[in-house]
Structure 1
Amino acid sequence: MQMARSVGLFLVAGMAAGGAHGQGRPDMGKLSATGGVSQLEGAGGGGLVPWALITGYGSRDSWGANLHYTGVRTQDYTLATAGLAVGLADRVELSLARQHFKGSLAPLDRLAIRQDIVGVKVKLAGDAVYGQDVFLPQIAVGALYKRNKGVDGLGTLGVNKVTQLGAKDDSGTDVYVAATKLLLAQSLLLNATVRATRANQMGLLGFGGDKGNAYKAMLEVSAAYMVDRQMVVGVEYRQKPHNLGVDHEKAYDDVFVAWFPSKQVSVTAAYAVLGDITVFNPKRQRGAYLSVQAGF
């Protein structure tokens, strides 16, 4: 109920702010795919990495919004993310997401963890589309506030909080700077993001731990090739901190294909490698990623 009320207030605020910036209705003025897709934490970008692009198709005189649902399945775990995002005047992005992480193999076959994420992103300089004749990429700064909702399925072990697994906190904020360069003549998008974080597995296993509690700067990169107006293929890489002794956390990477049949709908499929998740299932987790986004 609390999440539903937040979503309602978020939509009302986004529409009101969008109207204040310009038209009351979205103009769909941006080029196809230039809002990116919905990243696992709800921000506009690739599947793993937030980009400097602002979500939605509203131009600088309008606004846009989208809903998304993403599912990832590896050998031992599943992760589902659902959320919404609003882009205002192609300058500000607001996002809400809920992640649901579950185990499927003993001894963690009953494991279930939920996390809520509130995000904001602001474009600072450059323009990915109109800045073709300058070296400066589009640059944005963003923050993702995350609150872990606790641990289910480990009651027999007396564990119901991530802090009981070694994390220092059950909430935290990631701060990032993203630079995105779109080379239309070469049909190429390049992105580099630097994130300051204490999150363990994006925050699903809490923040900080017995191996470290300080913010660390992590590099995240993406490269995407636009096959045509409707199809984009690419790769991503995301560094991760290693704060927990029970979690040999490693980098994420993926290979993805994004299909944009219209500005209202996009579908992204990927093969993702998510490294080790916990010492209880000590193998490199890899599997399918599928995301559907609908918006304007």
Structure 2
Amino acid sequence: MKNLLQLSIFILSLVGLQSCVEDEMYVGPATIVSVAATPIAPNSTETVTVMAKITDLKGVTAVKLYYKTSTESTFKSVDMPATSEKFMYSGIIPAYPKDTTVQYYVEANNENNLTTYYPAKAPTATVSYKVGASSVVKLFINEAFADGTKDSTDPDWVEVYNDSDIEVSLNGYAFYDDGIKTSNGAKPKRILGDIKIPSKGFVSIPTEYNGETVTFGLSTSGDAVYLEDKSGVLVTSLDFNGISLSGKKSYGRKPDASSTFVTFANPTKAASNNNAN
């Protein structure tokens, strides 16, 4: 009987020891296995999705994504809810302008009220990325000159300004004036070749003289010019009907890409209008 009692006590002690070991196994912070951001190099119109794989023996109670720009002093935060994929959590960083450096880190809490970070030394250490160019095309007919010659000496011209973050090719774009627009197809639109405009750059396109071919001329008593993309969508226009441009004047936007229009006594062909007069 004594031996049986001793054996029972020994078995109970083993069960108690195992229970303690199991309890100790559950005490500790969650493990952030991996963190990845998509896209890796976003442009200025793209949000960034941060995915984190997080495991914990008892359970994760909350996951947050903290982010800020490199010039800001405080972090913003968003929740990272669990996804349909096991152990995965997701949060979104909003789009930022080109050349912005964004810093972020992930914080996870578990049922033991313990916190873990990625990177481990966050917020002192963070993950970062730099926003690249926007793919959005922003073109403006920025200036028009109508008092030119009928040859290559000094033809009429239209200036196009590229306010995009990327270089834009006008290859396949349609270019035409009011006379062509109101002809109902009797006069063909001019289809441009591979004219490239760098980001924040300017290009002047002669209207009356294109190599050896006369295309269309602008009226000094007033006209309008239009630019369509390859899909036939009107991208930009400049209307100067009723405005006299005789005497070598031009008409355009000041400042560049704005909706404020000015007659310039001194045209600024293929250059900024910001300081023109």
Superposed pair shares fold, TM > 0.5: no
* Structure with the higher fraction of residues in strand conformation: 1
Q: Of the two, which has the highest radius of gyration?
A: 2
TM-score, normalising length from structure 2? 0.22
